[in-house]
Amino acid sequence: MTAVISPDTHHDDAHEAHDHHGPTGVLKWLTTTDHKIIGLSYTVTAVLMLVIGGFFAELIRVQLSAPYEHFLSFAQYNEVFTMHGSIMIYLFAGPMAFGALANIIVPIQIGAPDMAFPRLNALSYWLYLTGSITMLSGFFVSGGAANFGWVGYAPLSNAANSPGAGADLWIGALLLTGFSAIFTGVNICATVFYLRAPGMTLFRMPIFTWNLLVTSILILLAFPVLTAGLIMLYCDRHFGTHIFSVQGGGVPVLWQHIFWFWGHPEVYILALPFFGMVTEIIPVFSRKPVFGYKGMVFATLTIAALSLGVWAHHMFTTGVVLLPFFSIMSLLIAVPTGIKLFNWIGSMWRGQIWFSAAMLYAIGFVVTFLIGGLTGIYLASPPLDFFTHDTYFVVAHFHSVVMALVMGGIAGLYYWGPKITGYLLNETIGKIQFWFLFIGSQVFTLPLYILGLRGMPRRMAVYPNNPGWQHLNEIATIGAVLIGISTVLLVVNILVSWKKYPAGDNPWDGHTLEWFTTSPPPHHNFYRLPQIRSERPTWDYNHPEAPAIAHGTHEEK
């Protein structure tokens, strides 16, 4: 513990000696290997992708507000929903989760000066940016962007059924962002295992860091499979192989196996970081330690382990998978997920809840995720999946989940944004934005559940004007408009709050190490570190009289 500097040394004294000399301005952004600046680049790019993907979502909802072809053609509609899904999954949710906030926060939370491989980290970002541009450029080639859905099922995605450069650009984009993710995974694993500050044992790591570690391991297990699959698909399209085509002795369903072997862990690769964010935020604003810390860690590990054995629940209706095995594995994921939900509630229980914007989003996350989680249990049961698969019920289910994740992500922006910029966002606008997003999400998703049960399949450019279908679609469109307004409010808030409300080092009375350093942190993050004796070193330093109480002390005060 020799690295621990006496707490009474004021850090301002050290400013000059530690200042970093390097390029400034645009050159600094282009050449940096500083994880915080890379993380900021990730954040800006990912939020931009959210806006673009959200814009496509609004186009979809405008089209579906009436049953006939009135706004987009069939071909345009197929492109738009494909790119909506692809942008949101590949270019927004993942990079926002393990590129943006993880990059900024994980090294600081464990008291590290930077990521383990700073240059690899920079490469990750540039691959991600290149991949994003590659995917979007599909709109500018003849034949248009990819139009076979974000899952790219073979043989619809082969050269005969989907000719044109749009599909190839889609494959290329996924290869690039896939490598970006793999490198980030390597980097986070190495950082967490080798760069923790003295005293920061694994079971003193904040839950966010824990979740990012598990996410990174999942990335390393899952993404190479997708990359391999994409290369096979590309070979099928251009080099005359027949891996996914019946004609040459191939097996089309193999693509689904490969895709979902990546795709279901990917769901948790997306979700776990946002779970982690919420797990940081709820205890801080309840002024309590996270309830059931170790249970939380084991729940995360269990989810990760199970997620590798559930991929074929996306394929129940193919008729070629073992139903009971994938059913029980999928149902079991409800258990660790339930543990997380109850731990979040337990963290609030008997706390002193401060309803900041970040906390509102975190609670909105828990409620919305509860809906998305419960409806997911139906889909784990093959007989129920048979009549909900590929209908709007599924669409509603995963949109409940991802809207929850978006709330978690925005909670993270409000919570950690001040740490990285030095300035708070406007709380009032943040709360108004929250209610638009929260109410909008429910108004958007709940009618879709009924729509799916009434038999409306997904990915329909037009639909028969069955009784009720149009009304349900209209309600969902209203919800989408409310969500759109909330996105505009986020941008407005960033502009309004620009360098207006100085945050100070520790605006939320935070628990973890990032709240011990300055806002924004210096080049190598810390001038000094507190003693690390629990997973809340900053709290312990500021409130030495109130350590976490271990199990067994039941006596009332």
Partner 1 sequence: MEVQPSPPQGAGPQSTKHRRRWIAALIPLTALALSGCTLPSFGAYKSDTTTGQDSYRLWQWFSVGAVVIGTFTFLLIVWAVLRYRRKGDTIPKQSQYHIPLELLYTIIPVIIVGVLFWGTVVVENKVVAMPKTNVRIHVNAFKWGWGFTYPGQNAVVVGNTTQEPTMVMPVGTDVAVTITSTDVMHGFYIPQFNFSRYALPGVTNEVTFHAVKTGTFTGQCSQLCGLYHSLMYFKVKVVTVKQYTEWLHGFDTPAGKLAAQAAENALKIQMSAGLPVVSAVTAGVN
Q: How far is the CB of 158 from partner 1 (least distance, A)?
A: 7
494 forms part of the interface with partner 1 (CB under 8 A): no
Q: How far is the CB of 384 from partner 1 (least distance, A)?
A: 6
Tokens, residue 194: 């080798």
Q: How far is the CB of 75 from partner 1 (least distance, A)?
A: 6
Angstrom distance (rounded) from CA 327 to CA 313: 7
- The continuous run of DSSP H or E covering 458 comes out as none
* Site residues (CB under 8 A) for partner 1, limited to 526-555: 543, 545-551, 553-554
- The continuous run of DSSP H or E covering 501 comes out as strand 501-502
491 forms part of the interface with partner 1 (CB under 8 A): no
27 forms part of the interface with partner 1 (CB under 8 A): no
* Site residues (CB under 8 A) for partner 1, limited to 325-354: 327-328, 331-332, 334-335, 338-339, 341-342, 345-346, 348-354
- Total of residues contacting partner 1 (CB under 8 A): 96
With vertex at residue 332, the alpha carbon angle to CA 330 and CA 338, rounded to the nearest 5 degrees, is: 115
Task: Judge residue 377's burial from the number of C-beta atoms within 10 Å of its C-beta, 0-12 exposed, 13-18 middle, 19 or more buried.
Answer: middle
Q: How far is the CB of 404 from partner 1 (least distance, A)?
A: 13
Contact 482, 403 (CB under 8 A): no
294 forms part of the interface with partner 1 (CB under 8 A): yes
Angstrom distance (rounded) from CA 120 to CA 114: 12
6 vs 352, beta carbon nearer partner 1: 352
Tokens, residue 324: 């009971």
Question: Any idea which residue has 């249990």 for tokens?
Answer: 377
Question: Measured on CA atoms in the order 461, 56, 38, 304, is the torsion positive or negative?
Answer: negative
Residue from the set 374, 488, 491, 496 that interacts with partner 1 by CB under 8 A: 374
Phi, psi of 532 (to 5 degrees): -105, 105
* Site residues (CB under 8 A) for partner 1, limited to 44-73: none
Angstrom distance (rounded) from CA 208 to CA 97: 11
Tokens, residue 335: 């258990």
Q: C-alpha distances in angstroms, 445 versus 74, 361, 380, 469, 523?
A: 24, 17, 19, 14, 43
Question: Interface mask (CB under 8 A) for partner 1, residues 384-403, using x and -?
Answer: x-xx-xxx------------
203 forms part of the interface with partner 1 (CB under 8 A): no
* Site residues (CB under 8 A) for partner 1, limited to 231-260: 245-247, 251-253
Tokens, residue 476: 């969902």
450 forms part of the interface with partner 1 (CB under 8 A): yes
518 forms part of the interface with partner 1 (CB under 8 A): no
318 forms part of the interface with partner 1 (CB under 8 A): yes
Residue from the set 25, 240, 319, 544 that interacts with partner 1 by CB under 8 A: 319
153 forms part of the interface with partner 1 (CB under 8 A): yes
26 vs 550, beta carbon nearer partner 1: 550
